[in-house]
Structures are given as structure tokens and as C-alpha cells.
Copies of this chain bind each other. A is one copy, B any other.
Amino acid sequence: MPRIVVLRLGHRPSRDKRITTHVCLVARAFGAEGVYISGVRDASIHSTLEKVTATWGGDFWVEFVSSPMKVIDKWKESGGVVAHLTMYGIQIKQARDLIPSDRDLLVVVGGEKVPSEYYEKADFNVAVGNQPHSEVAALAIFLDRATGGAWEGMRFKSARLRIVPSERGKNVEQCPSNKKAFSDH
């Protein structure tokens, strides 16, 4: 299966901590393998995601980068496709038919003001609706469509906890104490 990675632009710890954390959690839950973050380094994002992965499984990674444009250039050089999420782009229905599904996909998620060079450099500028809403929601819907809803029923390997869906309340299975993690991922 082709890789999916997210590039989150312009993180500001004072303002964006929770939004960027949600971007990372959504990336993980909806099938991306990791997130590059540009902007000010923020150890708390790392530690939150590490805790989540240790508990709920998977190999998700987060990496701060100083030059997001270099990440994009490298991605394209190695044959990958770059989709930039923006409310000004083409509609996702149309984008779905255009984005090749057999190539690695880098999903660029902006902040407040994204420089025009990102619009130029991206292979596709994609709008999840042309209304202002949320990069967190846009990423979830985009990954849902890009993967054909593969996140539903996805399992994460080496989980220590997992949820048994239930009509009322919380039903959480814990990995047996003589094992380090669920083995059946």
C-alpha cells in the first residue's frame, strides 16, 4: 500500500498546541504513518503522541522539520504526490478522481496563512468544502476519502488497550498481564 504522511505547517506552541495535537491524532487514526511539523518545536506534541501510541498501538511518528519546502521537494523527487488542503482548492469529489491512488501521498495541512508557494508547489490544492471550518476536520474527511474509509475497523499492532464497541458506557480490554501487548493486531 502506498504511504500516507501529513505535513503540518507553521505550528505555534502558544496558540496551536491542541489543534496540532488533534491533527496528529487524526492522522494516526485515519491511516497516515506520521506527521512532519514545521514551526516552533514543541516537545509536548511528541510526548502526547508517544503516550497514545504506547497505549493504543501502531508505529506512528512525529518529526519537527525546519524546512517544510524541502520535505515537499524530496517527496516529489521520489515520485510521491502532494495534496494541499485549502478551502480555495478544487472540490474533494473532483480531486479524488485526479489523485493517483498508487503513489505515496503527502497531505499538507496549513495554518492561518499559507504562502502562495505552497499552492504552486502542490500537485493538488484540495478543498473539503469551500466554507471556513477546521484543518482537523478537513484532514479527517480527506483521509477518509483518500483511503476509501479504510480507517473503519483498522487495527493497531502492539496495543495495550483496545475498546470493545458498546451501546452504553465503556468497555476496554486490557492486554493480559503476562504479555506486553495484544498479539493479533
Interface of A toward B, CB cutoff 8 Å: 15-16, 18-19, 22, 25-26, 28-30, 52, 56, 87-94, 116, 119-120, 124-125, 127, 129-134, 136-137, 139-141, 144, 151-154, 156, 162-163, 165-172
Chain B residues contacting A167 (CB-CB under 8 Å) are 89-90, 124-125
Known: A29-B132, A88-B170, A140-B140. 19 other contacts (CB 8 A): A22-B134, A22-B137, A25-B131, A25-B133, A26-B137, A28-B133, A29-B129, A29-B133, A30-B137, A56-B131, A88-B169, A91-B152, A116-B169, A125-B166, A125-B168, A129-B151, A131-B156, A141-B141, A141-B144
CA distance A89 to B169 in the complex (A): 8
Name the one of B16, B25, B132 contacting A56, with C-beta atoms under 8 angstroms: B132
| Contact residues in B for A90 (Cβ distance below 8 Å) | 165-167
Residues of chain B with a CB closer than 8 A to A52's CB: 132
Smallest CB–CB gap between A57 and chain B, Å?
Answer: 9
How far is B92's CA from A22's CA once the two chains are assembled, in angstroms?
A: 20
Q: Which of A56, A89, A154, A171 has the largest number of chain B CB atoms within 10 A?
A: A89
Chain B residues lying within 8 Å of A92, measured Cβ to Cβ, are: 152
- Give 19 CB contacts A-B under 8 Å: A18-B19, A22-B137, A26-B134, A29-B129, A29-B132, A29-B133, A29-B137, A30-B137, A56-B132, A87-B163, A88-B166, A91-B165, A120-B168, A124-B167, A127-B163, A129-B152, A136-B136, A141-B144, A144-B144
CB contacts (< 8 Å) of A120 on chain B: these are 168
Residue of B with least CB distance to A143: B137
Distance in angstroms from A59 CB to nearest chain B CB is 14
